[in-house]
Amino acid sequence: MIRKNNEKGFTLIELMIVIAIIGILAAIAIPQFATYRVRANNTSAVSLNKQIVSCQAALNSDLGCYGITASNADLTAVLGGSGGGNPLLGSTAQIVAATATIPGAHLTATNLNGGISAVGFTVPDGIDCQADTEGATNATYLVYTEAMNGNRAFGSDAELSDVMYFVQNEIWNGTGGFDCTFPPAPTTASVDFDGGVAGGGAPAPGNWAILE
C-alpha cells in the first residue's frame, strides 16, 4: 500500500511575510500604547486636582477659609496652618486619606478666630500634589497635581475654581516630585495662573495655560 502524505507547511517566504507584518503592527502599537498610558496618568492627576478642589470647598464651608496639604496627623490631631503646604508625593507611594484614627493626607487650616479643621483625601500611587494659601487669611488657594508617568502638571485657583490650567514637558515622563514651576504665592486679586506665568514646560515659553 502507498501512503500519501498530504501534510503541508509554511514556506520560508510565507514565514518572513508574517514576521514582517507582526513587526509593522508592533511598531505602530507600542508607541500608541505608551501615548495612551501617559494620557491615562495625566487624567489621574486631573481627577486628584478636582478632588482637592472639592475638599477645599468642604473645608471652607466648615471653617470659612481654605487649607494647605499635610499628612502628619489624623483628623483629631491636625495642626492647622497657612501659606505653603507640604508636597504630598504619591510618586513615592500611595498616601492614604487621614481619618479619625489614621494619619494620612489631608487639607488643614486655621481661620482668623483660631479655629482648626481638616478634610482627608487619598493621594493615588504615582501622583504628586500640593495646596497653598496666601497665608494671611487663607482666603484663597492654589492646587497643583502632577503624574510621575505623565507629561503635564495641572493647577487650580480659588478665584476660578471650575477652570483648570496646565503646563507640559515631555521630559517629565518618568520623574517623581514636582517638575513644574509654581506661580508666585496665591493672591485674592486675580487668577494667579493668568498673564504668562512660567510653568517650566516646553516648547518655550512654557507658560501655564487653560486646559480646554
Q: What is the pLDDT of residue 71?
A: 96
CA atoms of 88 and 115, how far apart (whole Å): 24
CA atoms of 50 and 22, how far apart (whole Å): 41
Q: Are strands 88-89 and 104-110 parallel, antiparallel or unpaired?
A: unpaired
Element (H, E) at 145: strand 141-147
Q: What is the pLDDT of residue 22?
A: 78
Do residues 208 and 181 touch, judged by C-beta distance below 8 A? no
Q: What is the pLDDT of residue 163?
A: 97
Using a 10 angstrom Cβ sphere, with 0-12 exposed, 13-18 middle and 19 or more buried, the burial of residue 122 is: middle
Do residues 85 and 130 touch, judged by C-beta distance below 8 A? yes
Q: What is the pLDDT of residue 31?
A: 67
Q: What is the pLDDT of residue 204?
A: 81
CA atoms of 33 and 76, how far apart (whole Å): 44
DSSP assignment letter at 70: E
CA atoms of 149 and 172, how far apart (whole Å): 8
Q: What is the pLDDT of residue 14?
A: 72
Q: What is the pLDDT of residue 32?
A: 62
CA atoms of 145 and 6, how far apart (whole Å): 65
pLDDT digits (tens, 9 = 90+) for 80-138: 999 999 999 999 999 999 999 999 999 999 999 999 999 999 999 999 999 999 999 99
Q: What is the pLDDT of residue 172?
A: 95
The structural domains of the chain, with segments of one domain joined by +, span 12-210
**Residue that the C-alpha cell 488643614 belongs to:** 108
Show pLDDT as tens, one digit a residue, over the chain (212 residues). 555 555 566 787 777 888 887 777 777 766 665 678 899 999 999 999 999 999 999 999 999 999 999 999 999 999 999 999 999 999 999 999 999 999 999 999 999 999 999 999 999 999 999 999 999 999 999 999 999 999 999 999 999 999 999 999 999 999 999 999 999 999 998 899 998 999 999 888 899 999 98
pTM: 0.85
Q: What is the pLDDT of residue 87?
A: 98
The number of residues in the chain equals 212
